[in-house]
Amino acid sequence: AGAERSAWALAAAAGAVVVLVVAAPVLLPAGTARLRRGVPAAVACRGLLNATFISAEVLLPLLLVREHGWDIPVAGLVLTASSVTWALGSQVQGRIQDPRRRSQITWAGPAILTLGTLVTAAATLPGVPAWLVIVGWTVAGCGMGLVFPALSVLVLQATPAEQHGQVSSALQISDGLGAALGLAGAGALFTTLVGAGGTEGYLAALLLAAGLGVLAAVAGARAAGGDPAH
């Protein structure tokens, strides 16, 4: 709808929103939208993590190529760097056995992701070097690696074995829904502002992503210490 701006596109978007409002409460644990403690907050956290990471990452090669003049292969290194640190973060969390420290991962990971996103956003400001994008997104990848698998473990531990399939599908739905809605919001901001020239569109979209990262940290904190959801 944001790209077409025609009557049929707006009608289709409105219909999609209706389907989303009706279907999401059925497909996700009760209380997910309210960040209810325990499994619902964990499922919400996964969606918010994806919304943060995907909506920011999709803009970074474009920012480096269009605004900073980098070659496309070199700009792609930012994606490689975050993939490497995601893997390293995942490996680190797998070695943490203490329950108290594992409970801290669920909010610390999103907080690190948010910090990395804000550092990345700084590269849209005048006079700030472009390489800061790689620094920020390297940090962001580490945050994702720490928290993403930890949430899966937390959710499976908090639910009976006969509900593992149901809650695993809820995590995947939240992943996809978060990515789609995050991209929609960031894309709408970007396309609205990019026509004015400059980097305001990038900055607005990255700040939106950072805001979603803050919500992910709140959800992660609520996920770590709550009752299991059904």
Write down the pTM of the prediction. 0.90
**Tokens 């920020």 belong to residue:** 136
Q: What is the pLDDT of residue 2?
A: 55
**Are 146 and 86 a contacting pair, CB within 8 Å?**
no
The torsion of the CA quartet 206, 188, 20, 166, rounded to 10 degrees, works out to -30
Per DSSP, 54 falls in state H
Task: For residue 127, report the phi and psi dihedrals to the nearest 5 degrees.
Answer: 85, -5
The pLDDT of residue 192: 87
pLDDT at 230: 43
Q: All domains of the chain, ordered by start, with CATH?
A: 1-225 (1.20.1250.20)
pLDDT, position 198: 79
Do 109 and 53 touch, CB atoms closer than 8 A?
no
Residue 220: CA count within 13 A, CB half-sphere: 32
Q: Mean pLDDT in each 10-residue stretch from start to end of the chain (230 residues)?
A: 72 88 90 94 97 96 94 93 96 92 95 98 93 96 96 94 93 95 92 82 96 97 68
